[in-house]
Amino acid sequence: MLTREENERLTQVGPGTAMGNLLRRYWHVVAARAELDEDPVRPVRLLGEDLTLFRDQRGRLGLIGERCAHRAISLAYGIPQEKGLRCAYHGWTYDTEGRVVDMPFEPACLPLRVTAYPVQEVGGLVFAYLGPEPTPLLPRHELFARDEFDKSVEITPLPCSWLQCMDNSLDPVHYEHLHVAYGNYVMKKLGKPPKMAAARHLKIDFDVFAYGVYKRRLVEGAGEDSDDWRIGHPILFPNTLLVGDAKAVRYQIRVPIDDSHTVHYNYNCWPRKNKTPAWEGIPVERTSLFEPNGSIVADSIVKQDMLGWVGQGPISDRTLEHLVTSDKGVILYHRMLLDEMEKVDRGEDPMGVVRDPAVNEPYIRIRWEDRAKEMFWPGGRTFEWTVPGLAHSA
């Protein structure tokens, strides 16, 4: 159980808050490239800040303030130019640094500027950095950086705090009930046969490593040498889960929009079937968790997890919780978040911030359970997943 103040410290993400300061040390997804192909100017909300994302006619990306410095119309109505974004109302034009570079009806252009943040792209996703300088490198995590997969992106807005998604990822035992008992109950209500079989958890454990936490579980029928127990699968601090199934491996990225809203990106990768470079045509699908009548039909694992997240309300009231032995991953993650906030207060980089190009090139490799690897690359094709020097090893 947390006090109200402790819960606020963990869930408030706006400018000047402790969690907001920590999250601002990381790059966050603000769009998929395909969305900018559809419309090169988009309103964006991230960490409680309203902004305008655009791609100018030369292909440069900009993320600037929500409103025009002239008479405060939304810049999301702007027109991309050779050099920036022109306001729809009277044509003031902004470059990617937020500087006004043209005032068509004035004798001279005044030296005005709006907020602007760095934006970069990797693997078909557009990331923004809202923190202090010096700007760290955009981490080239493996699935983003490698071009030998077919990929798809699924985007789902959720009316809840991002931390509820992460709490769920640090809680392996919910699998038995939410995905098996509840999931099969949903199937029964739909008149369909049960989809999932129970795998009783015998023990769970967590290993902190340079980029986050490995979660490990030993389930009934599996040996101590099973990959789920020996290696586990990683959570990339602060907001990404790696997960795989028989069809694909994916990052689940939980982008904090504000204290009570999250945009969930499923970044799916599977063995290549065509020859087009993956990011030339990564299809994007925007989905809703909710049926038209507002209900949730949780007939898949991801929808069941999302039900768990939004079912705790917009901001989970953790003063009501009773954390027990099986919640040790949740307790660990909150401790890590608080510790990393303190590092930021001391002026240090929190975990996973990348500044050394040698670490980032050609991409950041992270060891993962071999079960997923085998499903993904059948026939014994091997990749080295181990990051040299990490605390965790098989």
C-alpha pair distances (Å), 79 with each of 67, 83, 85, 108, 109: 14, 11, 6, 21, 19
Least Cβ distance, residue 171 to Fe ion (angstroms): 8
| Contacted by 305, from Fe ion, ligand FES, none: CB < 5 to 8 Å by type | Fe ion
Closest CA to 283 of 126, 152, 121, 149: 152
Sheet of 61-65, strands arranged across? 41-46, 49-55, 61-65, 116-117
Give every CB contact of residue 124 below 8 A, 6+ residues apart in sequence.
32, 33, 34, 151, 153, 278, 279, 282
User: Contacting Fe ion (CB under 5 A), which of 167, 228, 305, 369?
Assistant: 305
| Contacted by 90, from ligand FES, Fe ion, none: CB < 5 to 8 Å by type | ligand FES
Cβ contact 78:52 at 8 Å: yes
Residue closer to ligand FES (CB basis): 71 or 189: 71
Q: How many residues bind to ligand FES according to rule CB under 6 A?
A: 9
Least Cβ distance, residue 90 to ligand FES (angstroms): 3
Candidates 110-118, 232-240, 297-305, 318-326; binding stretch for Fe ion (CB under 5 A): 297-305
| Contacted by 77, from ligand FES, Fe ion, none: CB < 5 to 8 Å by type | none
Least Cβ distance, residue 76 to ligand FES (angstroms): 12
- Phi/psi region, residue 389 (left: phi>0; alpha: psi -120 to 50; beta: rest), is left
54 binds ligand FES (CB under 6 A): no
User: Contacting ligand FES (CB under 6 A), which of 83, 90, 303, 343?
Assistant: 90
DSSP run (H or E) holding 336: helix 328-345
Candidates 65-73, 199-207, 252-260, 341-349; binding stretch for ligand FES (CB under 6 A): 65-73
Give every CB contact of residue 132 below 8 A, 6+ residues apart in sequence.
24
Q: Where do contacts with Fe ion occur on this chain (CB under 5 A)?
A: 305
Q: Where do contacts with ligand FES occur on this chain (CB under 6 A)?
A: 68, 70-71, 73, 87, 89-92
